[in-house]
């Protein structure tokens, strides 16, 4: 009996995978591990967009009790626990005066699931999706996985998105604009008038606005975040999560808020993607929203102090500049070109010579190769000061 030769290659991945490159962070982290083995110095990592501040004990204590209830052991409704969706809606009413109903919320596994569900639901092959440059590296990969084309728009010198730049980039293939303020990697924010101007351009041109507001609750010096949905335009999708607001990155709970006719497709993708977000984690998220807002005070006090120390540590050397005001998230984005190197060279040099990890600007687009992202989410103040001492003694 002859065996028919198979023409298919089961090991060949889908062609869309050729448009996805592994994160360059991997190279940096490999180098970090290599150096960690060969040095007695502690590696100080400003690399991760993660928080080492524990989730508030109030949330954990009440969650432990809630875990005895079998409701937390089962699938939740696809869109998420009703009580959680109601609490999310109440929060948006109280904070932004927005009138969502619980059926305009889908609870997801973090912002990341909310984002990819949205791209799968709305991006068609050939569609162009506008993103900021620099911005969070996941957008480009997720848009490409959904079959879309990424169109970056460089931010201005203060790392804000200018409405004129958006206007000039939109063409007949443009489907959506992804906004991200407070911004990862820059920590920059936009005031209400700026958000309004950008959303109004999207409205004039009839494109979707997908606003990733993962850091909406982390702002400094009294900056008031404007939710993009506060601007009068029907086609705005808000994506956010509990990860950064409540130091709950590992719980993986996020959500999408959108008008019902937009949300229904996203909800369908979510249904077939994960069925529902993790039930115990949804209960934890509900507890977080029920807790007094003061439970976040110590986290914000700590981040505010770290922010001051980090700016001091990185600007103590001539040639490293932070000449804009990072008023959100937990990043600063210095320009290191004054040292005669780009961000990639600087991050390698900092790791090899000072055992300090930062992420080169090339990980966040092509517009800012001379910058590095410095995250102060994962290092305490003492370590940040130690980093400052190492940087000063090496570069001077
Ligand atoms: C801008 C931005 N959006 C989304 C995420 C992912 O958030 P989540 O943990 O909710 O999936 C991150 C994580 O660093 C981020 O920086």
In tens, the pLDDT along 260-290 reads 999 999 999 999 999 999 999 999 999 999 9
18-48 burial: b if 16+ Cβ within 10 Å, else e: eeeeeeebeebbeebeebeeeeeeeebbbbb
Q: Is 243 in the pocket of ligand 1 (CB under 6 A)?
A: yes
15-54+296-395 and 68-292, same CATH topology: no
What's the 214 CA to ligand 1 centre distance in angstroms? 6
Q: Tell me, using a 6 A CB cutoff, whether residue 334 lines ligand 1.
A: no
Q: Is the CB of 136 under 6 A from ligand 1?
A: yes
**Closest atom of ligand 1 relative to the 254 alpha carbon:** 10
Q: What is the chain's mean pLDDT, rounded? A: 94
Please give the model's pTM, rounded to 2 decimal places: 0.95
| Residue 254, phi then psi, degrees to nearest 5 | -135, -175
Task: Give the pLDDT score at 217.
Answer: 97
Ligand 1 centroid to residue 353 C-alpha, Å: 30
pLDDT (0 to 100) of residue 350: 95
Average pLDDT score over residue span 350-367? 96
Taking the domain 15-54+296-395, which CATH number applies? 3.90.1150.10
Bridging pattern class, strands 128-133 and 149-154:
parallel
pLDDT tens digits along 59-101: 999 999 999 999 899 999 999 999 999 999 999 999 999 999 9
Pairing of strands 236-241, 174-179: unpaired
Name the percent of the chain lying above pLDDT 70. Answer: 98
d(CA 263, CA 211): 14
Model confidence pLDDT, tens digit, residues 298-309: 999 999 999 999
Q: Whose CA is nearest to atom 5 of ligand 1?
A: 111
| Residue 331 beta carbon below 6 angstroms from any ligand 1 atom | no
pLDDT of residue 27: 73
CA of 47 to the centre of ligand 1 (A): 14
Confirm or reject: Cβ of 241 under 6 Å from ligand 1.
yes
Whether cis (ω within 30° of 0) applies to the bond prior to 216 is: no
What is the pLDDT at residue 34? 82
Q: Which atom of ligand 1 is nearest to the CA of 180?
A: 1
Work out which ligand 1 atom sits closest to the CA atom of 241. 10
330 and 381 Cβ atoms separated by less than 8 Å = no
- The residue among 38 and 1 whose pLDDT is bigger is 38
- Domain residue limits, the chain: 15-54+296-395, 68-292
Regarding the beta carbon of 214 and ligand 1, being less than 6 Å apart is answered yes
> How far does the centroid of ligand 1 lie from the alpha carbon of residue 40, in Å?
33
Give 372 Cα–ligand 1 centroid separation in angstroms.
18
Task: Provide CATH code, domain 68-292.
Answer: 3.40.640.10
pLDDT of residue 286: 97
Q: What is the pLDDT of residue 150?
A: 97
| 323/23: higher pLDDT | 323
pLDDT digits (tens, 9 = 90+) for 17-41: 888 888 777 777 777 888 888 888 8
User: Ligand 1 centre and the CA of 112: distance in Å?
Assistant: 6
Res 11: pLDDT: 86
């Amino acid at each position: 009996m002859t065996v028919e030769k198979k023409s298919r290659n089961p090991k060949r991945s889908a062609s869309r995978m050729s448009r996805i490159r592994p994160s360059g962070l991997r190279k940096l982290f490999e180098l970090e591990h290599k150096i960690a083995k060969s040095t007695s110095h502690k590696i100080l990592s400003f690399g991760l967009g993660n928080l080492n501040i524990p989730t508030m004990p109030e949330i954990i204590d009440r969650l432990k009790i809630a875990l005895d209830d079998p409701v937390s052991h089962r699938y939740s409704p696809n869109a998420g626990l009703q009580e959680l969706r109601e609490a999310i809606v109440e929060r948006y009413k109280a904070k932004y005066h927005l009138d969502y109903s619980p059926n305009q919320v889908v609870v997801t596994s973090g912002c990341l699931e909310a984002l990819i569900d949205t791209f799968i639901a709305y991006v068609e092959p050939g569609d162009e999706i506008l993103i900021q440059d620099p911005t969070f590296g996941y957008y480009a990969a997720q848009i490409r996985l959904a079959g879309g084309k990424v169109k970056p728009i460089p931010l201005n010198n203060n790392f804000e998105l200018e409405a004129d730049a958006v206007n000039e980039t939109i063409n007949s293939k443009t489907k959506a604009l992804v906004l991200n303020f407070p911004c990862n990697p820059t920590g920059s924010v936009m005031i209400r008038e700026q958000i309004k101007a950008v959303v109004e351009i999207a409205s004039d041109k009839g494109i979707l606005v997908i606003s990733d507001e993962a850091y909406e609750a982390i702002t400094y010096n009294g900056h008031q975040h404007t939710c993009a949905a506060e601007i009068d335009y029907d086609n705005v999708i808000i994506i956010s999560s509990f990860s950064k607001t409540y130091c709950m990155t590992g719980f993986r709970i996020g959500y999408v808020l959108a008008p019902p006719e937009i949300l229904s497709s996203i909800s369908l993708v979510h249904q077939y993607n994960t069925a529902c977000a993790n039930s115990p984690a949804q209960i934890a998220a509900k507890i977080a929203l029920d807790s007094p807002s003061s439970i976040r005070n110590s986290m914000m006090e700590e981040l505010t102090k770290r922010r001051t120390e980090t700016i001091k540590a990185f600007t103590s050397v001539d040639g490293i500049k932070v000449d804009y005001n990072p008023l959100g998230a937990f990043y600063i984005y210095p320009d290191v070109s004054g040292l005669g190197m780009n961000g990639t060279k600087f991050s390698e040099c900092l790791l090899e010579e000072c055992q300090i990890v930062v992420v080169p600007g090339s990980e966040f687009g092509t517009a800012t190769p001379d910058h590095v992202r410095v995250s102060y989410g994962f290092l305490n103040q003492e370590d940040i000061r130690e980093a400052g001492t190492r940087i000063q003694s090496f570069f001077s």
